[in-house]
Amino acid sequence: MKRILSLALAAGLVLGLQARELVTFPDAANNYQLYPENNLPDVSQAPKGYENFHIEHYGRHGSRWLIGTHRHDGVIRMLEQGDSIGGLTERGRQILEEVRLARKDLTNKEGELSPKGAMQHRGIARRMYRNFPGVFKDGTYVNARSTTIPRCILSMSNAIVELLGNEPGLNVDIDASEADHWYMKNVTDYPAIEAEKEGLKLYKKFHKANSTDGAYLAKLFNKPAEVAEVIDEELMTEYLFDIAANSVSTGEQSDIFDIFSPVELDRIWRNQNAKWYIRSGNTPLTKGLVPLRQRFLLRNFIESADSAIVSKNLSANLRYGHEVIVIPFVCLLELNDYGKVYDNLDDLAENWHSYEIFPMACNVQMVFARPKKKNYTADDVLVKVLLNERPAKLPVPAVNGDYVRWTDLRAYYAKRIGME
């Protein structure tokens, strides 16, 4: 009966997928995917008669080693358990050995920035300097802040080293303190936490209806039906997927992905996408409260930008943190329509794609431009917002290319967070 139900669900899902392409690797890796550095657009030009003079930024740390060893230990335990029941296939033995080696490589590196992560932030900083050379000149004030997590501190450090290598005369102020966590790493807020818990209850029903049917187990075990009765299939799927997805951050891509069919990969992503929407998006399932956790970060962006406009000096405020901040922040900013509301999780995959927001080293940049050779006020300042170095659609009308009027955007956001 279970098999018949699984086939029925698979058939229904495939019919539903006809309206969109299957999400497979690398997009299915979601928040584990590498930063998309290829084919970036030219974003260097300010509007005619204007010059870029200030940047506000928040970025996730770069590629890292997995946090914790429980995934590797769990997979090893379950594969060994299955081996004791009916034995492993040749593919199962290969994966067991691969996970054992990966577990050994992870020792004393859990959650640490990988060399790829360091290079990602050097690349982002190098392009930031190249795209906006008018901002990074001798004497420009660069205020760099990080959460106290080592991978974030090292991401910031690599970015600053790259900037100083291009312009040694920068006036850099760098720090990592819990004193800044209230706006850099706010994942609290009691009402939002309670609303999120309620939303995740509904997600569990969605996940159950859209989970994989365990067909891949036949590639690992000689007696998949018997093994499925004694192991935690859901955890096996999650752990194998995470190990494979994160492998590109620390070495070459793992071939563990090969055991999952394209439909299975799409289902895994579809569930994760829905979960991140509940944990980050502007959804009635959480009363729209979750993105508002990042109101303190947005207030900091606004106040810092106001100060830069008044001072009229060249400056940049660079912040380094985590994807659990970036994704609700993007939803709060309503970039690229990610602030839209979707009531039905079944329709979400066709409209809301978390992988577009938060790869390793994902970032939001607000770039400010002012009139040349003229006394100006805040009313004259223009701003564009980049999501992962690509111009983002904003919730107010553009006035010149990708740029909007700062006072328009400020007013919209100030109302959004009760800062009027």
pLDDT at 31 over 50: yes
What gap in Å lies between CA 127 and CA 275, rounded to an integer?
A: 33
Break the chain into its structural domains and give their ranges.
Answer: 23-64+111-212+260-416, 68-110+213-259
At 3 the pLDDT is 38
pLDDT at 116 over 80: yes
User: What are the tens digits of pLDDT across the range 176-212?
Assistant: 999 999 999 998 876 777 888 888 888 899 998 888 8
Reference 287, options 144, 191, 398; nearest CA is 191
User: HSE of 141 in the Cβ direction (CA atoms, 13 Å)?
Assistant: 10
pLDDT at 408 over 80: yes
pLDDT at 258 over 70: yes
CA quadruple 212, 213, 218, 224: dihedral sign? positive
What gap in Å lies between CA 286 and CA 193, rounded to an integer?
A: 9
At 84 the pLDDT is 95
Residue 420: pLDDT band with limits 50, 70, 90: low
At 400 the pLDDT is 96
pLDDT at 40 over 60: yes
Per cent of the chain over pLDDT 70 is 95
Reference 132, options 362, 304, 314, 298; nearest CA is 314
**Mean pLDDT, the chain, integer:** 93
pLDDT at 59 over 50: yes
Q: How far apart are the first and last CA of the chain?
A: 59
Residue 19: pLDDT band with limits 50, 70, 90: low
What gap in Å lies between CA 330 and CA 339, rounded to an integer?
A: 8
Instruction: Decide if domain 23-64+111-212+260-416 falls under CATH 2.40.30.10.
Output: no
Residue 1: pLDDT band with limits 50, 70, 90: very low
Write the CB contacts of 225 (distance below 8 Å, at least 6 apart in sequence): none
φ/ψ (deg, to 5) at 63: -50, 140
Vertex 340 angle, CA 334 and 342, to 5°: 150
pLDDT at 286 over 90: no
Per cent of the chain over pLDDT 90 is 83
User: What are the tens digits of pLDDT across the range 293-349?
Assistant: 999 999 999 999 999 999 989 999 999 999 999 999 999 999 999 999 998 899 999
pLDDT at 5 over 60: no
User: What are the tens digits of pLDDT across the range 337-391?
Assistant: 999 999 889 999 999 999 999 999 999 999 999 999 888 999 999 999 999 999 9
As a whole number, mean pLDDT of residues 55-67 equals 98
pLDDT at 14 over 80: no
At 191 the pLDDT is 77
**Residue for token digits 């939002």?**
192
Write the CB contacts of 139 (distance below 8 Å, at least 6 apart in sequence): 169, 170, 171, 314
Please count the other Cβ atoms lying within 10 Å of the Cβ belonging to residue 172.
14
Report DSSP state, residue 88: B
At 419 the pLDDT is 87
